[in-house]
Structure 1
Amino acid sequence: MCGIHGLYRFDGRPVEPAWLTAMGNVTQHRGPDDEGQHIHGACGIAMRRLSIIDLAGGHQPLSNHDDSLWLVCNGEIYNYRELRSELQAKGYQFKTGSDSEVLLHLYDAEGDAFVHRLNGMFDFALWDARRERLLIGRDRIGVKPLYVLQDAQQLAFATEAKALLALPGVRAELDTAVLPSYLQLGYVAAPASMFKGIRKLPPATLLSVERGQVKQWCYWQLSPQMHTGRSEADWIAQVRAGLERSVRMQMVSDVPIGAFLSGGVDSSAVVAYMARQTSEPIRTYAIGFEGGEAEALYNELPYARQVAQLFGTRHREIVVKPDVVDLLPQLLWHMDEPVADTAFITTYLVSQFARQDVKVILSGVGGDELFGGYRRYLGGHYARKLQVLPGWLRGLLAGAARKLPADRHSGLLNTLRLAKGFLASAEMDADARYQSYLQVLSQDLIARLLLKPGAAYDPLSAAFAQAGHEDELNRMLAVDMQTQLPDDLLMLTDKMSMAVSLECRVPLLDHELLELAASMPAAIKVKGGVLKHVMKSALSDLLPQDILHRKKRGFGTPMGAWLKKELAPLLRRLLSPEVVGARGLFVPTVVSGLIADHEANRIDGTDALLALMNLEIWSRIYLDGRTAADVAHELKSYLAA
């Protein structure tokens, strides 16, 4: 696990070692244990290493027997032992015990098709000196990020966008064309980034540069083909076997390993299968919040404690009241791009806590997207029930819903918030209804909010156009696989864990498990209004019923409540008409209206306001060139005043 970076000069100018060193210094947190670089004329590749496998011998860049191939790789290859044995049987000689070295010899044996043989999370850069060819790539689902900058002089790449800003002549500029999609989703979807001129390499993508010619192609995608001939019992057995295999593969490590445990179905499943693989107690880590009703809604510690006791884990808990004002600038610098998902704060805090003991952690991220775990997946189920009511009554309910209060940080108001959103979209077609559930701000509101509205890329519509599935649920799952999962959840998981030099693995996103879930009929995943039916059935002999069927909570913070109370002065100063006007992106009166509506519970504006706040903090750091510490000091002065 590490951070990789490098560049290829189209103008033939030799790569300076200092350029690579500068890029690596920016991402030292990703690899505090080691660093290295290899330069061959106009191409240079480099890395910062966090040592996980072959601690002594896994220095990178790695090379083959005659130094004609050079590699830097970020991530883990879980099937490297099988691949290594196969390659050794063909006569390949290995210099190290590193999992990454198999990429070198597999490329030599099979060419670009080698990537199909890999089971893992990774991004890599491979220099083929024989062909003077650079090849970079990213894993199938996008667990590990990779940014690319290309202009007339060079093509540069890095695991984190900020490393590209360390190159001579490169400066941070906002790409205003991505603002509409950012406001719609609360994150920037690939291939765009918030930086003008810097893009994300999409998941499952390879890019080559050979003699100045750039080519990019997708090497894998999930098939929309359903397997309808299997019994439910067969599906359950296959899910159970897939979960056990994936967790077993991803426990390989030469350093201490642990697991995040919220007490939800996904993290509990990971811990359950980890416990079956070892006689030693699993190390588990959980987080809770101290405070009032809002904080209590996000406190899952009793459930985590129950699972920990069931499997005899070495369990540790942390209860926090985070210093959000101090954290936000620091974490947004690490994130590279602003997000509206408060899970990035929680993920950082629990990662920091776990890093006291371990260097590798397993997470339950991905189970909801594979097997249908979000409440929004039931929209069609309840919309069909609503259709039996007469039209006049449905209209009456929709009108009444518009007047309902909305707040996610109170049990009653959160129920009313969900009902309000459902009734407002119940008459839409399936795709439009689902987009209404996902959006942070509506298209109409975005048009009123932007000072310079214009045509922009719409990631959700593009994802629906590519979804391919006929049934509603699998279309929704396919859209999430292309958008929210890689560009929000996996991005923040990677950036926040690596901010504290912690490697986070996601066994529920093993690509063979993904392919199994993608081929599963919707009625097996969600049955009779029961979310994750097949996964819960597969776990019924491992986890108690109250864990399997407990009410779902997101892995976030009660930010909306804080914005109405202790963080209200921060919100009003960051999004004041003066600040908004000076930044020149949004209409100040529309922003002020959003704040007023949130404070009055007319809307739950948590995500929308956090998207705007975080964009302003991000702008102060990246566009205004200030340090995170300086911005944090300024934000604290707002509260003190």
Structure 2
Amino acid sequence: MTGLTGFLDWKQRIAQPRELLRSMSQPLDVVHTHYDAHAAMASSSLAGSDGVTVAVWGYLYNQEELTRDLQSAGHRFQGRELPELFHTAFLHWGDSFVERLAGAFAFAIWDAREQRLLLGRDHIGMKNLYVSDRGDSLAFGTEIKMVLEHPDVTRNVAADGLIELLAKGPYFSPGQAVFADVRELLPGHLLICTPHGTRTHPYWNVQSRPHEHSIEETVHNIDSLLQSHVIQWGNLPTPPTVILSGGLDSSGLTAMMHRFFGHKHPDWKSFSGNTKETYNVENAEDMDFTWVKRVAEHLGMQDEEFLFDLDALWEINHIPRRAHDLPTEAKYEASTYQIYRKIGEQYSVIVSGEGSDEMFASMYWFYRDRQAGDPKFPWLAPQTSILASPALLETLQASDYLHECGLRHLREVPTLPGEDEPNRRMRELAYFTLKEYLPYNMRHNERMAAAAGVQLRMPFVDPRLAQYAWNIPWEMKNHNDQPKGILRRTFRNYLPDFIVDRKKSNVPMVFQSSYPKRLHEAAEAILRDPQAPLYDLIDREHLRKILDEKTIERDMYMRWRLDYYLQIDSWMREYRVQLRV
């Protein structure tokens, strides 16, 4: 696995810094290190000279453009490695270099000349970066487990972390890492640490301004932004593959990729996921595999279908937990890991249409009645904490905590003077989605890709597109009264109307396995074990009722929540979590 980690030791209290860094960097497959009197860093790749050392994890969409700009300014590059580019850009532009980046990245820059550490994370939160600031020391890493190896960092979970676990997770709040001593560096932020203290600085946020482009101009601009990705991929010796679901986003990207470089790479193909049970449905019109075939046949290209091994998901449901170092949606993420792992046997880079629903406001909550100024998170159903102990939630004042989290986002929303109430409400929902739901979705996909040994490219999750889409008014996003209507209009340049106008399926494939039975058995074991970490955190009477009435066998949402809560129990055992409430 790739990533970066390190620590600062201002008072040189760490007796064996090399041993500590070795321990913190254990998850990395390849390790390059840097040490000096106060700083230690390890990364899959490093660059350093002139007293400045740089570690970077990730990739840029505009690497070629930045390289040309710096070459025009007189700089020369020895290769194409990202740390060298970041190093040169930092020396040339200073901290403001990050404002010129577009991509998925986390970085650490140690400036020995100034005794100054600069940490940064991409605009939207595709790559993780965690920090523990203990005053005299600071630990950081792209995985929580790296930071937990530092001797100054405890494994305690305080009241806010417990609320996050029981009433919000796995949609954890921005900045939250659940552990009391660990924080997530916010997307679009820098952290600057010197012997005099630590501070954070936001370098990016969406800006509200009137959208002055016509439908045709808007379509052209969206098309150009997406093309900029596809053209770069076509210039690679081996272009990335794409996951094709038959939905609008992946079908449109597949068609673009096929048009721009399919002729140069006749063996290029897409991949799709399915289950053998799906083939047994009487009416397959709404099933994804039907539309995958239609798209592939229309384009005259090959799609390779992968059948999920649903009965194996229970045996690998620890992989997502260990990839995140937090409880997760185990079954869902394990299935994602399965298909990434399979594709990784043939391709090292995968294109995904994830992020389109969030950017173009087609999630179901954009179509429900909601007043402007409502601080509720629309994806958190009332049943989210249904398995938690009601007395514990009341003691923790969980509802007040969630309310304040929502109000904090409302206070941050970049408003547009004179905007009418419907568009103001949509802007608030878009902000909640951009700042909370989209990073959750990105974490899921990025961590499963990293665990499977592949890289993702998600062209919809581009800060340039995020800024542009932010100001497209609702009536244009919903052009022709269709969800993602403006994107459908864009993709009509590449696909026939019958594919572009396909409605989103709520049940795109059939999942039948022994997983509910395994959930039932694991939940029974919790109820029999008063020493189980989850035992005192849950509403045992309600869980007993759910199991007796076989609710999880027929209720998908309840299965999902029980799966997540059982992950909390496993996580607390495995990570030796200590509750300090």
Question: Structure 1 length as normaliser, TM-score?
Answer: 0.79
Is 330-339 or 568-577 further displaced after alignment? Answer: 568-577
SS at match of 1:280: coil
The CA deviation at 1:461 is 3.7
Percent identity between the two aligned chains: 24
* CA distance, structure 2, for counterparts of residue 505 and residue 533 of structure 1: 23
Task: Tell me which residue corresponds to 1:517.
Answer: 469
Alignment of 1:462 onto 2:429: no
Partner of 2:456: 504
Deviations 1:582-612, CA, capped at 9 Å, x for gaps = 6432232233345548348689423322221
Q: Tell me by how many angstroms 1:308 deviates.
A: 2.9
Confirm or deny: 8 A CA contact 1:290 1:321 kept in the other structure: no
Correspondence list, 1:198-277, <5 A: 198-227=182-211, 229-249=212-232, 257-277=240-260
Q: Aligned pair in 2 of structure 1 residues 285, 255: CA closer, same or farther (>3 Å)?
A: same
- Any conservation in 2 of the 1:580–1:586 contact (CA below 8 Å)? no
Count the aligned residue pairs: 558
Alignment check: 8 A CA contact 1:527 1:533 kept: yes
Q: What value does the CA root-mean-square deviation take over the aligned residues?
A: 3.2
Residue 522 of structure 1: CA displacement?
0.8
What's the counterpart of residue 269 of structure 2?
A: 283
Distance 1:356 1:169, change over 3 A: same
In the other structure, the counterpart of 1:391 is none
1:4/1:554 CA distance change after superposition, 3 Å: farther
Give 2:34's match in structure 1, choosing from 31, 38, 58: 38
Offset of residue 476 of structure 1: 1.2
Structure 2 CA distance for partners of 1:160 and 1:433, relative to 1, 3 Å? closer
Alpha-carbon separation, structure 2, partners of 1:563 and 1:43: 47
Deviation (angstroms), 1:219:
0.4
Q: Does 1:18 align with 2:19?
A: yes
Residues 418-449 of structure 1 show CA distances to partners (whole Å, capped at 9, x for unaligned) of xxxxxxxxxx6356496354336367986716
- The Cα shift of 1:260 comes to 1.7
- 1:319 is aligned to 307
The residue matched to 1:515 in structure 2 has which SS?
helix
Classify 1:304/1:578 alpha carbon distance in 2 versus 1 (closer, same or farther; 3 Å).
farther
Deviation at 1:493, TM superposition (A): 0.9
Contact persistence 1:186–1:340 (CA under 8 A) = no
Q: Is the 8 A contact 1:576 1:592 kept in 2?
A: no
Counterpart of 1:373 in structure 2 is 362
Conserved in 1, the CA contact under 8 Å of 2:188 and 2:205?
Answer: yes
**Equivalent residue for 1:429?**
371
**How much has 1:274 moved relative to structure 2?**
1.9
> Normalising to structure 2: TM-score of the pair?
0.87
Alignment of 1:521-540 (within 5 A): 521-527=473-479, 529-540=481-492
Q: Show CA shifts across 1:393-438 (max 9, x none).
A: xxxxxxxxxxxxxxxxxxxxxxxxxxxxxxxxxxx63564963543
- Partner of 1:483, secondary structure, is helix
User: 2: distance between equivalents of 1:605 and 1:297?
Assistant: 27
Is the contact between residue 186 and residue 608 of structure 1 (CA under 8 Å) also seen in structure 2?
no
1:314 Cα deviation after fit = 4.3
Residues 119 and 192 in structure 2, CA contact (< 8 A), matched pair in contact too: yes
Q: Aligned residue for 1:118? A: 101
- 3-state DSSP of counterpart to 1:124: strand
Q: Is the 8 A contact 2:274 2:509 kept in 1?
A: no
Distance 1:575 1:236 in 2: 56
Structure 1 stretch displaced more, 315-324 or 492-501: 315-324
Match for 1:38: what amino acid?
A: H
Match of 2:8 in 1: 8
SS in 1 for 2:347: coil
Secondary structure of the residue aligned to 1:223 is coil
CA distance 1:98–1:150, shift in 2 (3 Å): same
Q: Is 1:80 aligned to residue 63 of structure 2?
A: yes
Which aligned pairs between 1:72-221 and structure 2 lie closer than 5 A? 72-168=55-151, 170-187=153-170, 188-221=172-205
> Which secondary structure does the structure 1 equivalent of 2:58 belong to?
strand
* Structure 2 CA distance for aligned equivalents of residues 473 and 597 of structure 1: 39
Change (3 A) 1:266 1:600: closer
- In structure 2, relative to structure 1, the CA distance for the partners of 1:95 and 1:528 (3 Å cut) is closer
Q: Which runs of 5+ in 1 are unaligned?
A: 49-59, 381-427, 626-641
1:364 aligns with 2:353: yes
Tell me, yes or no, if the aligned pair for 1:120 and 1:139 is still in contact at 8 Å.
yes
Note the C-alpha offset of 1:205.
Answer: 0.7
Bigger drift between 269-278 and 446-455 goes to 446-455
- 1:507 corresponds to which letter in structure 2? P
Deviations 1:341-374, CA, capped at 9 Å, x for gaps: 7542232111101110121111111000111222
1-side partners of 2:500 and 2:330: how far apart?
Answer: 25
CA contact (8 A) 2:296 2:303 kept: yes
Does residue 1:438 correspond to 2:422, yes or no? no
How far apart in 1 are the matches of 2:509 and 2:138? 39
Amino acid in structure 1 at the alignment position of 2:191: L
- 2-structure distance, mates of 1:549, 1:75: 35
Moved more, 127-136 or 92-101: 92-101
CA distance in 2, matches of 1:179, 1:465: 25
Residues 247-301 of structure 1, C-alpha deviation per residue, up to 9 Å, x if partnerless?
A: 3346665666222221211122222222233121433221112336899899623
Residues 1:440 and 1:612: Cα distance change in structure 2 (over 3 Å):
farther
The answer to whether the aligner puts 1:606 opposite 2:559 as a matched pair is yes
Question: C-alpha distance in 1, partners of 2:467/2:298?
Answer: 31
SS of the aligned residue for 1:605 comes to helix
Shift of 1:134: 0.9
Partner of 2:418: none
Deviation track 1:526-556 (CA, whole Å, cap 9, x = no partner) reads: 2464210100111113123343233424799
Worse-matched range after superposition: 148-157 or 469-478: 469-478
The change in CA–CA distance for 1:274 and 1:94 in structure 2 (over 3 A counts) is: same
In 2 relative to 1, CA 583–63 (structure 1 residues): closer, same or farther, beyond 3 Å? same
**Quick one: structure 1 residues 620 and 443, their matched pair in 2 at CA, closer, same or farther if it must change by over 3 Å?**
closer
Alignment-mate amino acid for residue 166 of structure 1: E
Distance of aligned partners of 1:274 and 1:92 in 2 relative to their CA distance in 1, 3 Å threshold: same
Cα deviation digits, residues 131-163 of structure 1 (max 9, x gap): 111111000011111111121441111111112
Residue type at the aligned position of 2:566: M
1:620–1:319 Cα change, 3 Å:
same
Name the CA shift for 1:136/1:252 in 2 (closer, same or farther; >3 Å): farther
CA positional deviation for 1:567: 4.3
* AA at the equivalent of 1:39: Y
CA distance in structure 2 between the aligned counterparts of 1:251 and 1:242, rounded to whole angstroms: 15
* Conservation of the 8 A alpha-carbon contact between 1:263 and 1:307: yes
Q: What one-letter code is carried by the residue in structure 1 that aligns with 2:275?
A: F
CA 437–528 in structure 1, closer or farther in 2 if over 3 Å, else same: farther
Unaligned ranges ≥5, structure 2: 416-420
Separation of aligned partners in 2, 1:210 and 1:254: 43
Shift of 1:311: 3.2
The residue matched to 1:364 in structure 2 has which SS? Answer: coil
Output the CA distance in 1 between the equivalents of 2:206 and 2:89. Answer: 23
